[in-house]
Structure 1
């Protein structure tokens, strides 16, 4: 039980998120926002890349059908 109390004191000692006016908290906020947006962009790219290629292929000059795009021949 004493170990938990000492851990709580150490966690309160950091205090980087307690004061919004310090430059380190602005940096942490910017870092968190950047990480969040990059994770969302990664997911959007992961799930949107192949459908984008299919749509672009269907709108190309020789009009192709979906079956022709997906067939290996």
Structure 2
């Protein structure tokens, strides 16, 4: 099942409100930034150790994988 993202703003849309376009743009930007930060957190969490291993494998002298993973 495909999920759809709703960008509707919550709140009162009474007379004299500033403009729904401005509210929807700021709300959309806020939702997008929150989504991006959550994804960046997951990528950083799961990508840090493999990045360290890859950098370690490309350094001089070239260690074996078991040497990188052993605590000694």
TM-score with structure 1 length normalisation? 0.70
In structure 2, relative to structure 1, the CA distance for the partners of 1:21 and 1:71 (3 Å cut) is: same
Paired residues in the alignment total 58
Higher relative contact order (CA 8 A, sep 6+): 2
Q: Distance in 2 between matches of 1:25 and 1:58?
A: 48
Which has more radius of gyration?
Answer: 1
Q: Which runs of 5 or more residues in structure 2 are unaligned?
A: 1-9, 14-18
TM-score with structure 2 length normalisation? 0.71
If each structure's helix is expressed as a fraction of its own residues, which one has the higher value?
Answer: 1
Alpha-carbon RMSD? 2.0
Which SS does the other structure have where 1:68 is aligned?
A: helix
Q: Which runs of 5 or more residues in structure 1 are unaligned?
A: 1-11
Runs (4 or more) in structure 1 with deviation over 2 Å come to 12-15
Match of 1:25 in 2: 24
